[in-house]
Amino acid sequence: MSVIEGKKAKEILKKAEFIAVLTGSGISAESGIPTFRGNDGLWKKFSPEELSSFEGFYRNPAMVTEWYRYRRKIILGTKPNPAHLALADLERIVAEFYLITQNIDRLHQRAGSKKVIELHGNIMENYCMKCGKVFDIEEFDCVYEKFEDHVPRCECGGYIRPNVVWFGEPLPEEAFSEAYKAAVNCEVFISIGTSGAVRPAADLPRYAKYNGAYLIEINPERSYLTDIADLWVKGKAGEVLPQFVEEVKKLKGMK
Ligand code: OAD
C-alpha cells in the first residue's frame, strides 16, 4: 500500500525540487530516546522549570549539569534509525533540501544528513556563559572532573552550561533565520515527529503553508499541525519514512 495518497500529493512530490523538513523528538523515539510529551514523555517525570531553564540552572547548577550528562550518555548509546537514514537519502535526490530539527541528539548528522539546522542547539557541546568558549565532550569531561561540586567552571571563572536552548530563551538567530527562509521558500514542507506545541519552531510549518508550500505530516498521532496538513501520513517515522522516500524516488523516475 502506498503511503503517498492522492493525485495532488503525487504530482507535487514528483516535481518538487525544494523540500524543507522539520523534525521533533518523535523521529528519535525508535532509536530509544524518549519524547517530551505524552504518557512516557520526559516532562511527565522531570520538571522543565527545574531542568531546562536558566532559573533552574541558577538555583541548582549541579543537578542540571548531571541531568544533561545523563541524557548525553543515553543518546551516545543510541543509533540513527531508518527514519534518520531515509532523510539523509531524501537530501541526495532533491536540488534544495533543508533539515530543520528541534532535536539536540545529533542523530541526523550521524545518519549522514548534511544541511541540518539545529534550532534548539545540541547536547554534545557546552559553553562558558561568561566568555563563550565552546567545550566538546572530551574537553567538558576533563574540566568536569576537576570540580567536586559537579559544577564545572571555565578558566575565566564563568559557569559552563550545555549548548541547548532552555525555556524562555531565544533560538539561535542565524539558525532560525535560515529555517524561516527555507520554510517560506520551499515547495513541500514535511513535519515529522513533533507535537507542534513549542513555538517558534511550531510556526515554521504554518509559515510554509501560508506561503504556498504543500504541508505533509508524518506522525502516528494527531498533533497541533494535523488540521492544517495537506497530507497526514499516519505512522511511526521509522516505518513509513523509508517507504515514503522510495515512493518519491519512483515518482521522480529514479527507480
Ligand atoms: P513532543 O514530545 O512534544 O512530541 C513528540 C511527537 O512525536 C508527538 O506528536 C508524537 O505523537 C510523535 N511521535 C512519537 N513516536 C513517534 C514515531 N515513532 N514516529 C513519528 N512520530 C512519533 O516533542 P517535540 O515536538 O519534539 O524543547 O517537542 C518540542 C520541544 O519541546 C523539544 O525540542 C523540547 C521540548 O520541550 C526544548 O527543550 C527547548
Predicted confidence (pLDDT) at residue 255 exceeds the cutoff of 80: no
Predicted confidence (pLDDT) at residue 18 exceeds the cutoff of 80: yes
Atom of ligand 1 nearest to the CA of 102: 33
Q: What is the CATH number of the domain that holds 246?
A: 3.40.50.1220
Distances (CA, A) of 10 to 17, 38, 93, 165, 183: 13, 32, 16, 37, 20
> Is residue 146 located within the same domain as residue 204?
no
> Is residue 19 located within the same domain as residue 38?
no
Contact by Cβ (8 Å): 224, 195: yes
Atom of ligand 1 nearest to the CA of 38: 2
> Is residue 152 located within the same domain as residue 250?
no
Question: Which of 126, 125, 108 is closest to 117 using CA atoms?
Answer: 108
pLDDT tens-digit series, residues 36-81: 898 888 888 888 888 999 999 999 999 999 999 999 999 999 999 9
Cβ contacts of 180-186, under 8 Å, gap ≥ 24: 180/204, 180/207, 182/20, 182/98, 182/100, 182/117, 183/20, 183/100, 183/207, 183/208, 183/211, 183/213, 184/208, 184/211, 185/18, 185/211, 186/18, 186/19, 186/20, 186/96, 186/98, 186/213
Q: At what angle do helices 7-15 and 237-251 cross, to 10 degrees?
A: 70
Residue 220 alpha carbon to ligand 1 centre in Å: 11
pLDDT tens-digit series, residues 84-124: 999 999 999 999 999 999 999 999 999 999 999 999 999 99
Torsion sign, CA atoms 183, 184, 187, 189 = positive
pLDDT tens-digit series, residues 139-193: 999 999 999 998 999 999 999 999 999 999 999 999 999 999 999 999 999 999 9
Dist CA 112 CA 154 (whole Å): 33
Atom of ligand 1 nearest to the CA of 167: 39
The pLDDT value given to residue 49: 87
Contact by Cβ (8 Å): 83, 71: no
> Is residue 27 located within the same domain as residue 144?
no
The pLDDT value given to residue 40: 82
> Is residue 145 located within the same domain as residue 20?
no
> Is residue 110 located within the same domain as residue 149?
no
The pLDDT value given to residue 47: 86
Number of domains the chain contains: 2
The pLDDT value given to residue 150: 87
Domain span at 100:
1-32+80-120+170-255
> Is residue 45 located within the same domain as residue 143?
yes
The pLDDT value given to residue 168: 92
Please compute the mean of the pLDDT values over residues 180-209 and round it to a whole number: 97
The pLDDT value given to residue 90: 97
Given 112, 142, 164, the domain boundary residue is 164
Q: What is the CATH number of the domain that holds 73?
A: 3.30.1600.10
Residue 34 alpha carbon to ligand 1 centre in Å: 9
The residues annotated as belonging to the active site are 120
> Is residue 245 located within the same domain as residue 154?
no
> Is residue 148 located within the same domain as residue 216?
no
> Is residue 84 located within the same domain as residue 201?
yes
In the chain, % helix, strand, coil (3-state, to 5) comes to: 40, 20, 40
Residues whose CB is less than 8 angstroms from the CB of residue 239 and which lie 6 or more positions away in sequence, other chains included: 82
Residue 21 alpha carbon to ligand 1 centre in Å: 14
The pLDDT value given to residue 45: 82
Residue 194 alpha carbon to ligand 1 centre in Å: 4
The pLDDT value given to residue 163: 98
The pLDDT value given to residue 189: 98
Q: Is the CB of 25 under 6 A from ligand 1?
A: yes
Q: Is the CB of 28 under 6 A from ligand 1?
A: no
Given 164, 193, 224, the domain boundary residue is 164
> Is residue 105 located within the same domain as residue 231?
yes
Given 138, 164, 190, the domain boundary residue is 164
> Is residue 62 located within the same domain as residue 131?
yes
